[in-house]
A and B are shown apart, each in its own frame.
Chain A
């Protein structure tokens, strides 16, 4: 049964059965919780030590370079 068919069938249900259906669907949605990622100890060394300075210079205006990379990437994917 396709999604539009399911939707039509659900809309045709009596109100109380629509509510029961909503309960079932919400119960399923709650099981779709994201993978929770805790930073493992063995990755700690990847980050600067506590208290170290961490200057970041953002290349916010490198549009020409971004366009060059986009073109080169497309060429590589086309090969």
Chain B
């Protein structure tokens, strides 16, 4: 069984105290050999992974590769979205292919959600200790 990697909560907004600390995960995103380092919010409440439009463009994503639009709802419903598949490396773990909703919504953040980050990685949040643990799923 792999030993989990331990990451600190990151203080994003000092002015609001404890509420400003978030589980931000440094990741390397790779799309057909174009790689970028980024920080993703580990969001267990998200039903899928999200990548902002500009980040997908920087990775060389082809917006027109898939016809139609991904049916994102909620606050993203009014903006076009496409699927984007990336190889994602976390720490020293082997890269894993993750699917993203690639949205043009200007408010989008890089999010790691249930489909399929949480299907590939086990995560334990230790908010009181200010850290979270990530490890690849066990077969």
Is A66 a contact partner of B47 (Cβ separation < 8 A)?
yes
Is B107 a contact partner of A57 (Cβ separation < 8 A)?
yes
Distance, CA A65 to CA B47, complexed state (A): 9
Answer whether A46 and B26 are a contact pair too, CB < 8 Å, given A64-B73, A73-B116. yes
CB contacts (< 8 Å) of B57 on chain A: these are none
Distance, CA A59 to CA B74, complexed state (A): 7
Is B72 a contact partner of A73 (Cβ separation < 8 A)?
no
Dominant SS among interface residues on chain A: loop
Partner of A34, one of B6, B39, B47, B74: B6
Is A62 a contact partner of B99 (Cβ separation < 8 A)?
no
Answer whether A59 and B14 are a contact pair too, CB < 8 Å, given A34-B4, A73-B99. no
Distance, CA A51 to CA B12, complexed state (A): 7
Closest to A55 in B: B107
Interface extent on A, as a size class? 35 or more
A22 interface contact, C-beta 8 A = no
B11 to chain A, nearest CB (A): 8
Q: Mark B68-97, 1 if CB is under 8 A from A, else 0.
A: 001111111000010101000001100001
A37 interface contact, C-beta 8 A = yes
Closest to B76 in A: A59
Answer whether A65 and B71 are a contact pair too, CB < 8 Å, given A38-B8, A73-B97. yes
CB contacts (< 8 Å) of A56 on chain B: these are 41, 43, 109, 111
Distance, CA A48 to CA B83, complexed state (A): 26
B13 interface contact, C-beta 8 A = yes
B97 to chain A, nearest CB (A): 7
Partner of A70, one of B5, B37, B116: B116
Query: Can you list 11 A-B pairs with a CB-CB distance of less than 8 A?
Result: A32-B3, A39-B10, A58-B45, A59-B46, A59-B48, A59-B73, A59-B76, A65-B70, A66-B114, A69-B115, A72-B99
